[in-house]
A and B are shown apart, each in its own frame.
Chain A
Amino acid sequence: MITEEVVDLSRLQFAITALYHFIFVPLTLGLAFLLVIMESVYVMTRKQVYKDMTQFWGKLFGINFALGVTTGLTMEFQFGTNWAYYSHYVGDIFGAPLAIEGLMAFFLESTFIGLFFFGWDRLSPRRHLMVTFLMALGSNLSALWILIANGWMQNPVGAEFSYETMRMEMTSFAELVFNPVAQVKFVHTVAAGYVTGSMFVLSISAYYLLKKRDLPFARRSFAIASAFGLASILSVIVLGDESGYELGDVQKTKLAAIEAEWDTHPAPASFTLFGIPNQETQTTDYAIKIPYALGIIATRSLDQEVTGIKDLIEQHEVRIRNGMIAYGLLTKLRGGQTDDATIAAFEEVKKDLGYGLLLKRYTENVVDATEEQIQAAAHDTIPNVAPLFWSFRVMVACGFAMLLIFALAFYFNATRRLESKRRFLRIVTFALPLPWIAAETGWVVAEYGRQPWSIGEILPVHLSTSTLEASSLYTSIGAIVAFYTLLLVIEVFLMVKYARLGPSALHTGRYHFEQNGEHSNQAKPEIAGGAA
C-alpha cells in the first residue's frame, strides 16, 4: 500500500542517492576537459611535465570516476525499483534519452577511459590525445542526455496523455531534445562541472605552491586551472539557469518560491537579497530588496511580470477543478464508455488531468473532492519557500566567491606575483568545497522546487512511487547510507593520500618525495609498495 510514509521515504532515498551521485559527476565533467587541455599542450610541446600532469590528475580523475559510475548505477535502477508507476506513466518519453545516453555517450566515455589508463605505451601521443578527448566528449554528451530527461520533468513538452494506454506518449522527439529548459540546464550544469574541475586543480596546486614542492608542475597546473576556471565561472553566471524560468508553470512557481515573491508586482520586479520567508502568513520578513533586478534576471526584459505565489495558487485552483472533470471522464473512458462525445470532452480538459491527480493525496474519489480538499491541493502546488530561498542564495554566493577567486588567481598568475601571495594561496586551498556546495544547493533548488510534481503539471510525486512496504524502504535506505558512507570515506582517504603525494605518485623519480632525502624515507614505503 502506498502511504505518505512510503512516499516520503522514496523521496528521501532518491534525494540521498542523487545528491551523492552529484558529488562525483561535476568533477568528472570538468577534470576530463582539463586533461584534454594538459595533454594537448603535451602533444604540441612534447614537454614531459605536461604528460606527467595528465597522468597525475588522471589518476585522481580515476579515483573520482569509480564512485561516479558506482552511484550512477543506483540512479538507473531506482526509477524502476522505487518509482514504478512513474516508469510506466512516462517511460515512453523519459526512457528514450536515458537509453540514447547509454548508446551515444556512456559507451564512448567508458570504453575510452580504459584506453586512457592502459593505452599510454600502446598509442602514439596524438592517438592517446584523441582517446582522452573522446572520453571527455562522452562524459559531456552523457550530461546532455541526462539533462534532456531532467528538463522534461520540469517542462514536459512533446508528449500527450493517452487514455487507452493510461500513460504519457511521445508526440515529438525534436521537441523533447530541443526543450529550452533542457538546453539551458545543460549549459549551466556542464559549465559548473568545468568550474568544479578547475577549482579542484587550482586548490591542490595552491597547496603544492604553499609547500614549495614540485613548483614547475604546480605552476603549470595552476595556470591552466585559473584560465579555464575563470572562463567557466563567467559562463555559469552569465548563462545562469534562471533564464529558463519563464517556461512552463513549474518553472514559474519555482521562480516565485526562490524569490519569495508572494504577490505579483508591476514589472520589473525587485530582487529580494535577504529576508525571512514565512509560508503561513505569505510574507517575507526583514526583506532587503534590489529594485528591478528580479524582473531583469527572470524575464530578461523590463516589461514582463513575474507572477506571485498567491496568484499562482488561484490559477492552480481553477486547473484542479478542471482536473476533477478530466478525472471523471477518464474513469468513464477506462470503464469502456468510449463514445465520441466522451473522448472529445476528455481531450478538452486532459491538460489539467495532472492537477486533478493532486487530489489523490486526500481522496480516492477525485470527482467528489470537498472544497477543503481542493484548497489543500491548491496550496500543495507551492513548494516550501524557505529551503528554496536559502539554497538559491547559498548557490549564488558560492558562485560569486569563486568568480573573485578565479579572477584574482588569473591576475596574480598573469602578473607573476602568485607565489608571494601566501594568504591568497591558503584561501584558494580552503575554497575547495565551494563548487560542490554550489552544485548541491543548485540541485536542491531544481528538484525540491519541482514539488509536488515528479513530472511538472502531469504526475504528482505521491502517485509516482512503487507499491512497496515502508519496511523495505527503511532497509534499502539504511543499506545505501551505510555503504555510501563507507565508500565516501575510502574515496576521500585515497584522494587525500594521492593529492598529498603529488606527482611523486607516478614514481618517475623526478618529483619531490623521490628526490628530497628527508621526506623520501617517510614516503618511500608507500611508493615502493606499488602505489600505482
Chain B
Amino acid sequence: MILDYETLKLVWWVLVGVLLVGFMITDGFDMGAGILLPFLGKNDAERRIIINTVGPHWDGNQVWFITAGGALFAAWPAVYAVAFSSFYFAMMLVLFALFFRPVGFDYRSKIADPRWRSTWDWGLFISGAVPALVFGVAFGNLLLGVDFYLDEFLRPHYTGSFFDLFHPFALICGVVSLTMLAAHGAIWLQMRADQPVADRAGKAGLIMLVIMLIAFAAGGLVLLNGMPGLHIDMMPAKDALPNPLNKQVSVVDNGWLANYQTYNWMITAPITAFVTGLLTLLLVKARRSGLAFATHSITMTAIICTAAFSLFPFVLPSLSNPNSSLTLWDAASSHLTLNVMFIAAMIFVPIILLYTLWTYKVMWGRVTSKQIEGNPLAY
C-alpha cells in the first residue's frame, strides 16, 4: 500500500471533492447553458448556437458526474447506499431530468418542426435546472441532517419524507447551486457564442451572480444563527475498521461552525467565495469572459469547500439518530479498495485532463450559424 489507512480515508474525502468540483466546472457550464437556452435564444438559429457551443463537450463533461457517483459507490459504499435510497424521489427526479440531456442534444436537430424543437429546448432546460436545484437542496439537507438510522446489521432505514427535503434553508442552498451553474453557463456563452447571444448571456450572468451571492450570504446567516450541528463525543481510532455505530455523537447548536474555530484557515473558503464572486461580476461586466470563467470556477470550488468544511468529518449526518451519522472515517471502503482506487485515480485523472483539454483546444472559437450549417453532424 502506498499510504496508510487513515491518510487514504482523508485523501478520498479530498478526491470525492475533486470529482464534484470537476463536475461543477465542466458539466456545470453545459447545464447552465441548458438553463438559459429558452431565454437567451430568441429564434432557432440562436438556440442552435447555444446548443452547439456545448455540443462537442456535454457528453464527456457528464462523465464527471457519473464517475463521482461510481467513486462514491467504491470509496464510501455506505454513503452511496444511504443517500441514494433515502433521497429516493429526489434521485428519481434528477434521473428523469437527466434523461432529457442526451436525447435533447441529439434528437432536437433531427426534425425541423418548431414544436418538436421547442419541446426539446424545454427538455434541455429541465435537464439543467432540476439537477442544479436538487444538488443544492441535497447539500442543504446534509447540513440540516438526513433522517435515517442504521440497524444492527448496518441496513439503512429512512424515516423522513420527500417533502421534508424542501426546508427553507435547503431551498436557499438550492438557489445558490441553481444560480451558480446558470452563471457558469452564461459566462461560457459570453465567451463562445456568436452575437447577439454572447451579450445577452453577459447580462444574464450578472443577474445570476448577484442572486447567487445574496443567497450564499443568506445561507451563511442561517448557519451563524444557532443552526444545530453535530459534535463527536467519542469515536474509534481513525484507522480503525469502519463501523459507523461505534461512535457517540450529540447535537449541539452552532455545531457546523466549530471547525472554523478549530481550523482557522477554513474560513478562507467562504471569504474566497465572496471575493472571487464580486471579481467575477466585474470581469463579466468588462466582457473579460475567459478570466471570469476562471474566477467563477474558483467561486464554485470555494462554495463546495464551505459546505464540506462545515460538515467535516461528517459526510452524511443524521440529526434524528446522530450515532448513525456517516463520517469520512467510518463510511469508507477497506484499505485495499481505497488504495486500488487511489492508484487508478492517480493514473487516469491526469490523462483525462490532458485529452479533455485537447478536445477544447480543437473546438475553440466562437460558434456561428454558418459553421453549424456546414456540418451535417452538428446538433
Chain A interfacial positions (CB closer than 8 Å to B): 55, 58-59, 62-63, 65-67, 69-70, 73-74, 76-77, 79-82, 84-85, 87-88, 90-96, 98-104, 106-108, 110-115, 117-123, 162, 164-167, 169-171, 173, 334, 466-468, 472, 475-476, 479, 483, 487, 490-491, 494, 497-498, 505-508, 526, 529-532
Q: How far is the CB of B248 from chain A (nearest CB, A)?
A: 16
Pairs A-B, 5 closest by C-beta atoms: A91-B77, A80-B84, A529-B112, A95-B74, A102-B67
Asked whether, in the complex, the Cβ of A123 is within 8 Å of the Cβ of B337, the reply is: no
Asked whether, in the complex, the Cβ of B107 is within 8 Å of the Cβ of A63, the reply is: yes
Q: Contacts A112-B359, A118-B363, A173-B340 known; A80 to B334 CB distance under 8 Å?
A: no
Judge whether B203 is part of the interface by a CB distance below 8 angstroms: no
Asked whether, in the complex, the Cβ of B84 is within 8 Å of the Cβ of A81, the reply is: yes
| CA A171 to CA B241, docked complex, whole Å | 14
What are 11 A-B pairs with beta-carbon distances under 8 A? A76-B70, A99-B67, A102-B67, A102-B70, A111-B60, A113-B59, A114-B55, A114-B59, A123-B362, A173-B340, A466-B85
Judge whether B92 is part of the interface by a CB distance below 8 angstroms: yes
Asked whether, in the complex, the Cβ of A103 is within 8 Å of the Cβ of B57, the reply is: no
Asked whether, in the complex, the Cβ of A170 is within 8 Å of the Cβ of B340, the reply is: yes
With both beta carbons as reference points, the residue of chain A lying nearest to B154 in the complex is identified as A166
Asked whether, in the complex, the Cβ of B102 is within 8 Å of the Cβ of A55, the reply is: no
Asked whether, in the complex, the Cβ of A118 is within 8 Å of the Cβ of B377, the reply is: yes
Q: How far is the CB of B241 from chain A (nearest CB, A)?
A: 5
With both beta carbons as reference points, the residue of chain B lying nearest to A177 in the complex is identified as B340
Asked whether, in the complex, the Cβ of A99 is within 8 Å of the Cβ of B73, the reply is: yes
Partner-binding segment picked from B285-293, B296-304, B342-350: B342-350
> Chain B: interface secondary structure?
helix
Which of B103, B112, B352, B375 lies in contact with A531, CB distance below 8 A?
B112
Judge whether B20 is part of the interface by a CB distance below 8 angstroms: no
Judge whether B327 is part of the interface by a CB distance below 8 angstroms: no
Asked whether, in the complex, the Cβ of A102 is within 8 Å of the Cβ of B377, the reply is: no
Q: How far is the CB of B147 from chain A (nearest CB, A)?
A: 13
> B107 — which chain A residues lie within 8 A by C-beta?
63, 66, 490, 494
> B166 — which chain A residues lie within 8 A by C-beta?
none
Asked whether, in the complex, the Cβ of B74 is within 8 Å of the Cβ of A115, the reply is: no
Asked whether, in the complex, the Cβ of A530 is within 8 Å of the Cβ of B73, the reply is: no
> B378 — which chain A residues lie within 8 A by C-beta?
117-118, 532
Asked whether, in the complex, the Cβ of A120 is within 8 Å of the Cβ of B69, the reply is: no
Chain B interfacial positions (CB closer than 8 Å to A): 52, 55-60, 62-63, 66-67, 69-75, 77-78, 80-85, 88-89, 91-92, 95-96, 98-99, 101-103, 105-107, 109-113, 152-158, 241-243, 333-334, 336-337, 340-341, 344-345, 348-349, 352, 355-356, 359, 362-363, 373-378
With both beta carbons as reference points, the residue of chain A lying nearest to B45 in the complex is identified as A530
With both beta carbons as reference points, the residue of chain B lying nearest to A505 in the complex is identified as B376
Q: How far is the CB of B228 from chain A (nearest CB, A)?
A: 26
With both beta carbons as reference points, the residue of chain A lying nearest to B94 in the complex is identified as A77
Which of A90, A120, A169 lies in contact with B377, CB distance below 8 A?
A120
Asked whether, in the complex, the Cβ of B81 is within 8 Å of the Cβ of A66, the reply is: no
Asked whether, in the complex, the Cβ of A93 is within 8 Å of the Cβ of B337, the reply is: yes
> A106 — which chain B residues lie within 8 A by C-beta?
63, 66-67
Asked whether, in the complex, the Cβ of A62 is within 8 Å of the Cβ of B377, the reply is: yes
Q: Contacts A95-B74, A110-B59 known; A76 to B69 CB distance under 8 Å?
A: yes
Q: Contacts A73-B98, A88-B155, A483-B99 known; A170 to B63 CB distance under 8 Å?
A: no
With both beta carbons as reference points, the residue of chain B lying nearest to A472 in the complex is identified as B88
Asked whether, in the complex, the Cβ of B337 is within 8 Å of the Cβ of A169, the reply is: yes
| CA A475 to CA B92, docked complex, whole Å | 10
> A531 — which chain B residues lie within 8 A by C-beta?
110-112
> A166 — which chain B residues lie within 8 A by C-beta?
153-154, 243
Asked whether, in the complex, the Cβ of A88 is within 8 Å of the Cβ of B56, the reply is: no
Q: How far is the CB of B151 from chain A (nearest CB, A)?
A: 9
> A90 — which chain B residues lie within 8 A by C-beta?
77
Q: Contacts A77-B95, A117-B378, A123-B362 known; A169 to B336 CB distance under 8 Å?
A: yes
| CA A120 to CA B341, docked complex, whole Å | 36
Asked whether, in the complex, the Cβ of B359 is within 8 Å of the Cβ of A115, the reply is: yes
With both beta carbons as reference points, the residue of chain B lying nearest to A525 in the complex is identified as B112
> B84 — which chain A residues lie within 8 A by C-beta?
77, 79-81, 84, 87
| CA A526 to CA B110, docked complex, whole Å | 9
> A334 — which chain B residues lie within 8 A by C-beta?
152-153
Asked whether, in the complex, the Cβ of A119 is within 8 Å of the Cβ of B362, the reply is: yes
Q: Contacts A122-B363, A532-B376 known; A95 to B344 CB distance under 8 Å?
A: no
| CA A282 to CA B69, docked complex, whole Å | 45
| CA A31 to CA B16, docked complex, whole Å | 34
Q: Which of B74, B349, B356 has the most CB of A within 10 A?
A: B74
Q: How far is the CB of A168 from chain B (nearest CB, A)?
A: 9
Asked whether, in the complex, the Cβ of A67 is within 8 Å of the Cβ of B102, the reply is: yes
| CA A198 to CA B95, docked complex, whole Å | 32
Q: How far is the CB of A165 from chain B (nearest CB, A)?
A: 5
| CA A37 to CA B78, docked complex, whole Å | 44
Q: How far is the CB of B240 from chain A (nearest CB, A)?
A: 9
Asked whether, in the complex, the Cβ of B85 is within 8 Å of the Cβ of A120, the reply is: no
Which of A69, A107, A173 lies in contact with B67, CB distance below 8 A?
A107
Asked whether, in the complex, the Cβ of B153 is within 8 Å of the Cβ of A96, the reply is: no
| CA A92 to CA B333, docked complex, whole Å | 5
Asked whether, in the complex, the Cβ of B60 is within 8 Å of the Cβ of A80, the reply is: no
Q: How far is the CB of B274 from chain A (nearest CB, A)?
A: 33
Asked whether, in the complex, the Cβ of B60 is within 8 Å of the Cβ of A88, the reply is: no
Which of B58, B60, B70, B85 lies in contact with A82, CB distance below 8 A?
B85
| CA A104 to CA B355, docked complex, whole Å | 12
Q: How far is the CB of A222 from chain B (nearest CB, A)?
A: 23
| CA A55 to CA B376, docked complex, whole Å | 8
> A74 — which chain B residues lie within 8 A by C-beta?
95
> A507 — which chain B residues lie within 8 A by C-beta?
376
> B352 — which chain A residues lie within 8 A by C-beta?
103, 107, 111
Asked whether, in the complex, the Cβ of B91 is within 8 Å of the Cβ of A96, the reply is: no
Q: How far is the CB of B22 from chain A (nearest CB, A)?
A: 10
| CA A80 to CA B78, docked complex, whole Å | 9
| CA A475 to CA B96, docked complex, whole Å | 13
> B243 — which chain A residues lie within 8 A by C-beta?
164-166
Which of B75, B78, B106, B340 lies in contact with A62, CB distance below 8 A?
B106
With both beta carbons as reference points, the residue of chain B lying nearest to A134 in the complex is identified as B355
Q: Contacts A103-B352, A529-B112 known; A114 to B73 CB distance under 8 Å?
A: no
> B340 — which chain A residues lie within 8 A by C-beta?
96, 170, 173
| CA A165 to CA B154, docked complex, whole Å | 9
Q: How far is the CB of A510 from chain B (nearest CB, A)?
A: 12
| CA A467 to CA B335, docked complex, whole Å | 28
**8 extra A-B contacts, CB within 8 A, seeds A73-B99, A96-B340, A494-B110:** A70-B99, A76-B70, A92-B334, A104-B344, A108-B355, A114-B59, A497-B111, A530-B112
With both beta carbons as reference points, the residue of chain B lying nearest to A158 in the complex is identified as B336
Q: How far is the CB of A103 from chain B (nearest CB, A)?
A: 4
With both beta carbons as reference points, the residue of chain B lying nearest to A469 in the complex is identified as B88
> A94 — which chain B residues lie within 8 A by C-beta?
73
> A65 — which chain B residues lie within 8 A by C-beta?
102, 106
| CA A98 to CA B75, docked complex, whole Å | 11
| CA A276 to CA B375, docked complex, whole Å | 57
Q: Contacts A110-B60, A479-B96 known; A103 to B81 CB distance under 8 Å?
A: no
Which of A69, A80, A91, A508 lies in contact with B74, CB distance below 8 A?
A91
Q: Which of A96, A115, A162, A526 has the most CB of B within 10 A?
A: A96
